[in-house]
Amino acid sequence: MRMLSCVLALADRISAPTVVRAHCDLPCGVYDPAQARIEAESVKACQEKYQGSDDPTFRERAVFIKEERADLVKHHLWVLWTDYFKPEHQQKVPNLHEIFWTATKAAGAAKKSNDPADGQKLLDAVAEVDKAFRATKA
């Protein structure tokens, strides 16, 4: 009986671990739109490869990869938006909200499209994010 009460007392002290998700385990301060740009380049390249092939299996893979990469663009943009950019950055870049809105919408549009022109629009939008980022780093 004494053993059982010890086990129960110990069980009361042990709880399931809390699962959390974050960009990193620490506020590392390492942010750069380059990650979003690389994924956006992949989106456009997949769109170009899709257009250049008649093989249905290859085209299916190109679409799958393009959609994954477009989601990664959105992820990297949101990490910048939510973790890096602060209210004081809006003073340096007054249209910051519009820049991010345009870039994330371009990622969504490119995800749904196999037209490399949409991939280029995404690259252009990510370049605007990069300009805003560089303006706040000075």
Residues of the chain with pLDDT > 90, as a percent, come to 76
Position 29 scores a pLDDT of 72
67 belongs to a structural domain: yes
Please, which pLDDT band fits residue 91 given cuts at 50, 70 and 90? very high
Given a cut of 60, whether residue 8 has pLDDT beyond it is no
Mean pLDDT of 30-40: 95
User: Is 13 part of a structural domain of the chain?
Assistant: no
Contacts 24+ apart (CB under 8 A), 20-29: 23/79, 23/83, 27/83
Residue 59 lies in a domain: yes
Please state the rounded mean pLDDT for residues 109-137: 97
Q: Could you give the CA distance from residue 107 to residue 67 in angstroms, rounded to a whole number?
A: 9
Q: Quick check: 7 pLDDT over 60?
A: no
Residue 22: φ, ψ to 5°: -155, 165
Q: Domain for residue 27, yes or no?
A: no
Sign of the Cα pseudo-torsion (45, 51, 54, 59, in order)? positive
Inside any domain, residue 3: no
Which residues, 6+ apart, have CB-to-CB distance to 110 below 8 Å? 40, 43, 44, 47, 66, 70, 73, 118, 119, 121, 122
Query: Domain tally for the chain?
Result: 1
**Quick check: is 8 in a domain?**
no
Residue environment code for 90-122, b if the CB has 16+ CB neighbours within 10 A, otherwise e: eeebeebeebbebbbebbebbbebbbbebbbbb
pLDDT at 30: 80
Give the model's pLDDT for residue 137: 87
In this structure, is the dihedral angle defined by the CA atoms of residues 71, 33, 84 and 118, taken in order, positive or negative? Answer: negative
The whole-number average pLDDT for the span 51-59 is 98
pLDDT for residue 109 is more than 90: yes
CATH number of the CATH domain containing 60: 1.20.120.400
Cα separation of 23 and 14, whole Å?
28
Q: What pLDDT score was predicted for residue 70?
A: 98
Q: How confident is the model at residue 10 (pLDDT cuts 50, 70, 90)?
A: low
Q: Give the domain extent around 54.
A: 33-137
Q: Give pLDDT, residue 2.
A: 67
Residue 22 lies in a domain: no
Does residue 19 surpass a pLDDT of 90?
A: no
Whether 6 maps to a domain, the answer reads: no
Cα–Cα dist 83/103, whole Å = 17
